[in-house]
Amino acid sequence: MTTVLSVVREAAAPEPFLYRIEEAMRVLNLSRSVIYEQIRAGRLRAVRQGRARRIPASAIRDYVALLEREAVRGR
């Protein structure tokens, strides 16, 4: 039996393993310069794929978790 949920799951694209800088900018709602600043500071991990820099999906989750921990400490 096909349910609405199963149709939605099939239609949803899987999460990419690696994001281009532009995609990470959209996901995190940050500017290009802030993304690169966070990479240089070691707060956002990036990998090289040839000449291109990519942000692993796990690095985006880790970065958001870092921001949440910092927000709690700042209270």
Domain regions of the chain by residue span = 21-73
pLDDT on residue 12 = 73
Q: Which residues pair with 47 in a beta bridge?
A: 54
CA distance 18 to 46: 9
Give the pLDDT confidence score for residue 3 in this predicted structure: 59
Q: Is the pTM of this model over 0.85?
A: no
d(Cα 16, Cα 24) in Å, to the nearest integer? 11
Q: What is the pLDDT of residues 22-65, one digit of tens each?
A: 999 999 999 999 999 999 999 999 999 899 999 999 999 999 99
Alpha-helical (H) ranges within the chain are 4-11, 21-28, 32-40, 57-73
